[in-house]
């Protein structure tokens, strides 16, 4: 009951908060009048009565303050007043405000933008049923760390034998040539075991998933579409279920549409199709295909238990099928790890970078606030003298910082929105970052921004608020001179050092990444990418057998080669980067075949004649392929210098023969390939080693798809319309993908490029912010010492010695900051090791340049204040106060 009464009174007092406050003055006046009246009646003169009343009452301002502190609603009211006061103060110092706001907006904006990415890409759980229980299964070389695709035959064995996993299924990339709205197009999707619908616990929103009969039964003329494909490409038509799509020339019926946003571990897929092979067919597949497996841990089974079971199953398979499984084993890890694992170092680097930017921004604003608080000392002193408590002053100053931080936060959100677009543009769809397109500035990100803004407001506000009120009562006593105090100066200097050190860490990290990227970019891939257009064509497999495809390619190549402006034209089964094309084992015919698991492996690339001329890969020895190398002529091969180095230390390889683990066009696997030429090395990965390479004629190892390479002295994109035109006129249903070879190569290093550009931008922001900070503090300190400088100059100090004095002080701080930063950077750049290519985390060159850059920038930042000091006339300097 009492509590209710009290609560009611409290609410009433809040509601009347304003009138209470307004009433206090009237009340005090009334009180004084009554006292005066009483004094007068006691016989005093009116003036005397008034004076005594005032005297007795005590400090009115003090009464007001302490009374106000008793009124809870006043807290709110004071805050409103503080906010208004804060805005007024900020408006009065536009330069300071602009610098602080920009700094904060940049820091907060960058943080929010990166957070939005980290949240979506890394933190959010996979949108599956109980995603923690999903694991992915890969094969690997024993002791290896790279994930390799699995052999379907092994998959069948796992599926039968495992007791720890359920719903084990395969998934792998698939490309289908489809005619959509009359346009032939190459659509990327996935082959996806029917089991996986149960494993991930996601069913189509429309229609149904395929069944075991449609997958393992082989009745696989069905397709499940993505929601996006249905909406975007098929206009969301209502009769999608049951419609027939021509895929690679064979009809498939649409039986389902997946829910919007469905991905398989972040891989976008416009369709899902069954493997459509029986267990016996899968068991008979030679080689490894391009799939991995996903399974669900059974109730109560841990990842470790499943891993050890799978390892022992694999050990059995190794004994049973040594040719396929010798010296190999299995890898199993949580599905989320598969998506995030690769990205983690990059994302951590970016997150680290933005946190550093934010810290520099905070330190900088704290710095600016402090330097400015010196100018406000008298205000603070005055308010203290008038009875404002320290807590009250701190509160007011914190409110100001929060006002600043809120404005900065709003600016930050705007910048984040821009960054966000820039980020997506920079990354584009060149880098396969899972779920990137789902990144949005949604509520959690805004909430995060608000929290960050408030936190920064408190962080950068708290030190200045306490430092500048600590000696408030001295301010007036010192007769209005800027008495700043040693403590303020110490804090200012510490902040400058911190700022320089923090930005050095960031700059060093960015420098390392940039240098690593430049090294990567300058890696010689072994071919000349400029001036070459590539055009990938895939023929519908149902209408073209391999012989028909062969003549199609021969015909189209000769027409392309005849185009005006074409110097060379050739074809190959694969792009030179970033994949190995066919990775397989081989051995010399004149040597005994090594044991399983001891075989050398090479990348095998089927090509047409003129390929080396087109790509400018130097021919070192022997001959090129020619039109007389056909399916019926003796099998021939051209090898890379690296292969010669590793295999033919005993003399020329020309005329020697190799056994290669690939099918010849005549269907035989035991053919012997005679080496007829040697060419320069190429890399399929710029950051990878040079691997042994074997080129064979496409006529002897054909495929239903081809990539043409066209070298021209002009801009290669100019040839794109005519090349596409030729191919479409010959086969309107074949999708064609045209890109310059330069783009193909650049795309392979898009991720390191994006990371180094981003971190570089952050580092520049931090550098700019730090420069503003150093400038601000030096300007303040030069102004502070105006009188000292005046005295010195009056006593005969030269302008240059004054200059040296000011700049010397600045440089001392910067040097300390650089030293601290170098130590910190040395400790932190180790974390970047996984992102660096041929650059040591402690690369002395980078560190030296970074330190130099900071020194120069800081010197410039303190040059202006120093010069102002130098050019001051002594009289003016002395008159300032």
Contact 215, 276 (CB under 8 A): yes
Nearer to other proteins, 74 or 793 (CB): 74
Separation of alpha carbons 577 and 207, rounded Å: 40
CA distance 180 to 427: 28
In the complex with other proteins, the residue whose CB is nearer, 69 or 321, is 69
**Do residues 644 and 653 lie in contact, with contact meaning Cβ atoms separated by under 8 Å?**
yes
Q: What six digits make up the tokens of 674?
A: 């005679």
For residue 32, the minimal CB distance to other proteins (Å) is 9
135 contacts 306 by C-beta, under 8 angstroms: yes
Q: Cα dihedral sign for 189, 195, 199, 205?
A: positive
**Coil vs helix vs strand at 387:** coil
Q: Which residues contact 649 (CB under 8 A, 6 or more apart)?
A: none
Question: Which CB, 10 or 845, lies closer to other proteins?
Answer: 10
Which residue, 34 or 45, is less far from other proteins as judged by CB? 34
Rounded Cα distance, 64 and 28, in Å: 9
Please give the Cα distance from 605 to 709 (Å, whole number). 14
Q: Closest distance between other proteins and the C-beta of residue 77, in Å?
A: 13
**In the complex, what is the shortest distance from the CB of residue 422 to other proteins, in angstroms, rounded to a whole number?**
52
Q: How far is the CB of 476 from other proteins (least distance, A)?
A: 14
- Least CB distance to other proteins at residue 504 (A): 45
Q: Which is nearer to other proteins, 63 or 761 (CB)?
A: 63
CB of 344 to other proteins, least distance (A): 54
**Interface with other proteins (CB under 8 A):** 2, 5-10, 12-13, 20, 23-24, 26-28, 30-31, 33-35, 56-59, 62-63, 66-67, 69-72, 387, 389
CB of 28 to other proteins, least distance (A): 7
Smallest distance, Å, CB 49 to other proteins?
A: 14
Comparison of 58 and 713: residue with beta carbon closer to other proteins: 58
Q: How many CB atoms lie within 10 A of CB 313?
A: 19
Taking alpha carbons only, the member of 434, 614, 435, 637 closest to residue 535 is: 614
When the beta carbons of 2 and 668 are compared against other proteins, the nearer one is 2
* Chain centroid to CA 535: 30
Q: Where are the extended beta strands (E) located within 581-692? A: 582-588, 600-607, 619-622, 636-640, 657-660, 672-679
Q: Least separation, in Å, of the C-beta of 13 and other proteins?
A: 6
Measured from the CB atom, the residue of 9 and 627 that comes closer to other proteins is: 9
Neighbours of 721 (CB within 10 A): 10
Shortest spacing between CB 259 and other proteins, in angstroms: 56
Nearer to other proteins by C-beta: 44 or 831?
44
CB 294 within 8 A of CB 196: yes
Output the six-digit token pair for 62.
């003090």
Residue the block writes with tokens 């060159």 = 845
Of 437, 263, 430, give the one whose Cα is nearest residue 336.
263
State which residue, 12 or 84, has the beta carbon closest to other proteins.
12
Look-up: residue for tokens 């005993």? 650
Query: In angstroms, rounded to a whole number, what is the distance separating the alpha carbons of residues 551 and 608?
Result: 13
Q: How many other β-carbons are positioned within 10 Å of the β-carbon of residue 596?
A: 16
Question: Could you tell me if 246 and 198 are in contact, meaning their C-beta atoms sit under 8 angstroms apart?
Answer: no
* Pick 8 or 845: Cβ nearer other proteins: 8
Q: Of 66 and 558, which has the nearer Cβ to other proteins?
A: 66
C-alpha to C-alpha distance for 835 and 832, rounded to whole angstroms: 5
One-character DSSP codes across 734-754: S-EEEEEHHHHHHHHTHHHHH
| CA gap 700, 200 in Å, rounded | 42
What is the closest distance, in whole angstroms, from the C-beta atom of residue 482 to other proteins in the complex?
24
Q: In the complex, what is the shortest distance from the CB of residue 44 to other proteins, in angstroms, rounded to a whole number?
A: 17
Shortest gap between Cβ of 514 and other proteins (angstroms)?
57
Assigned token pair, 837: 């290519």
Q: Which is nearer to other proteins, 27 or 132 (CB)?
A: 27
Residue 24 class from Cβ within 10 Å (0-12 exposed, 13-18 middle, 19+ buried)? Answer: middle
Distance CA 94, CA 78 (A): 24
| Minimum CB distance to other proteins, residue 397 (Å) | 19
Closest CB to other proteins among residues 58, 844:
58
Question: d(Cα 728, Cα 706) in Å, to the nearest integer?
Answer: 14
């Amino acid at each position: 009951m009492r509590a209710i009464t009290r609560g009611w009174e409290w609410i009433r007092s809040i509601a009347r908060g304003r009138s209470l406050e307004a009433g206090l003055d009237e009340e005090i006046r009334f009180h004084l009048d009554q006292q005066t009246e009483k004094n007068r009646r006691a016989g005093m003169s009116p003036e005397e009565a008034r004076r005594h009343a005032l005297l007795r009452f005590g400090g009115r301002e003090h009464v007001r303050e302490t009374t106000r502190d008793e009124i809870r609603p006043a807290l709110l009211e004071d805050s409103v007043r503080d906010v208004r006061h804060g805005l007024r103060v900020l408006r009065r110092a536009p330069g300071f405000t602009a610098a602080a706001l920009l700094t904060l907006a940049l820091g907060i904006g960058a943080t929010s933008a990166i957070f939005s990415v980290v949240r979506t890409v890394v933190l959010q759980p996979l949108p599956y049923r109980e995603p923690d229980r999903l694991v992915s299964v890969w094969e690997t070389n024993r002791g290896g760390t790279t994930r390799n695709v699995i052999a379907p035959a092994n998959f069948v064995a796992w599926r039968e034998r495992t007791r720890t996993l359920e719903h084990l299924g395969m998934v792998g990339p698939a490309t289908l040539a489809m005619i959509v709205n009359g346009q032939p197009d190459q659509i990327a999707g996935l082959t996806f075991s029917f089991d996986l619908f149960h494993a991930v616990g996601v069913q189509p929103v429309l229609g149904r998933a395929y069944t075991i009969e449609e997958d393992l039964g082989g009745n696989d003329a069905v397709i499940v579409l993505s929601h996006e494909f249905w909406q975007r490409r098929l206009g969301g038509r209502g009769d999608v279920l049951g419609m027939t799509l021509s895929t690679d020339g064979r009809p498939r019926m649409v039986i389902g549409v997946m829910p919007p946003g469905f991905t398989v571990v972040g891989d976008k897929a416009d369709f899902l199709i069954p493997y459509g092979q029986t267990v016996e067919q899968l068991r008979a597949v030679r080689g490894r295909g391009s799939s991995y497996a996903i399974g669900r841990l059974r109730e109560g089974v841990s990842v470790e238990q499943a891993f050890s079971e799978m390892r022992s199953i694999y050990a059995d398979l190794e004994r049973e099928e040594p040719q396929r499984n010798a010296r190999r084993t299995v890898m199993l890890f949580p599905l989320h790890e598969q998506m995030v694992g690769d990205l983690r170092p990059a994302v951590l680097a970016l997150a680290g970078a933005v946190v550093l930017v934010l810290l520099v921004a905070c330190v900088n604003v704290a710095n600016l606030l402090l330097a400015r608080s010196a100018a406000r000392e008298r205000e603070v002193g005055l308010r203290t003298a008038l009875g404002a408590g320290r807590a009250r002053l701190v509160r007011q100053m914190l409110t100001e910082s929060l006002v600043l931080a809120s404005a900065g936060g709003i600016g930050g959100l705007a910048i984040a929105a821009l960054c966000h677009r820039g980020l997506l543009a920079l990354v584009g769809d060149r880098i396969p970052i899972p779920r990137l397109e789902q990144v949005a500035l949604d509520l959690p990100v805004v909430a995060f921004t608000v929290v960050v803004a408030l936190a920064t407001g408190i962080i950068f506000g708290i030190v200045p608020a306490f430092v500048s009120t600590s000696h408030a009562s001295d301010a007036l006593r010192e007769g209005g001179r800027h008495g700043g105090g040693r403590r303020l100066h110490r804090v200012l200097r510490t902040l400058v050092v911190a700022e320089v050190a923090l930005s050095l860490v960031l700059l060093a990290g960015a420098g390392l990444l940039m240098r690593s990227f430049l090294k990567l970019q300058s890696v010689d891939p072994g071919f000349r990418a400029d001036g070459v257009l590539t055009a990938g064509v895939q023929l519908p497999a149902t209408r073209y057998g391999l012989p028909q495809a062969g003549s199609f390619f021969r015909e189209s190549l000769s027409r392309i080669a005849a185009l005006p402006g074409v110097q060379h034209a050739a074809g190959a089964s694969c792009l030179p980067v970033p994949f190995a094309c066919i990775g397989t084992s081989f051995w010399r015919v004149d040597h005994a075949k090594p044991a399983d698991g001891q075989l050398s492996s090479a990348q095998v690339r089927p090509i047409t004649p003129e390929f080396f001329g087109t790509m400018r890969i130097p021919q070192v020895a022997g001959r090129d392929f020619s039109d007389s190398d056909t399916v019926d002529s003796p099998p021939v091969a051209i090898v890379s210098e690296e292969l010669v180095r590793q295999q033919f230390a005993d003399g020329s390889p020309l005329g020697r023969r190799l056994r290669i683990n690939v099918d010849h066009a005549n269907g035989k696997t035991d053919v012997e390939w005679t080496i007829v030429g040697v060419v320069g090395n190429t890399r399929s990965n710029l950051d990878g080693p040079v691997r042994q390479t074997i080129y064979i004629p496409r006529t002897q190892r054909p495929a239903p798809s081809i990539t043409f390479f066209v070298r021209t002295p002009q801009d290669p994109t100019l040839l794109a319309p005519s090349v596409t035109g030729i191919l479409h006129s010959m086969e309107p249903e074949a999708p064609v993908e045209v890109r310059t070879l330069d783009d193909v190569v650049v795309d392979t290093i898009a991720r390191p490029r994006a990371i180094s550009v981003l971190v570089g931008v952050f580092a520049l922001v931090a550098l700019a912010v730090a420069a503003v900070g150093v400038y601000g503090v030096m300007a303040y300190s030069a102004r502070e010492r105006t009188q000292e400088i005046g005295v010195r100059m009056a006593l005969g100090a030269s302008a240059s010695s004054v200059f040296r004095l000011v700049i010397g002080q600045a440089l001392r701080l910067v040097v300390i900051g650089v030293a601290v930063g170098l130590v910190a950077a040395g400790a932190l750049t180790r974390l970047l090791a996984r992102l660096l290519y041929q650059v040591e985390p402690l690369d002395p060159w980078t560190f030296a340049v970074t330190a130099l850059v900071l020194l120069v920038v800081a010197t410039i930042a303190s040059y202006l204040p120093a010069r102002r000091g130098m050019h001051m006339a002594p009289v003016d300097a002395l008159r300032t106060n």
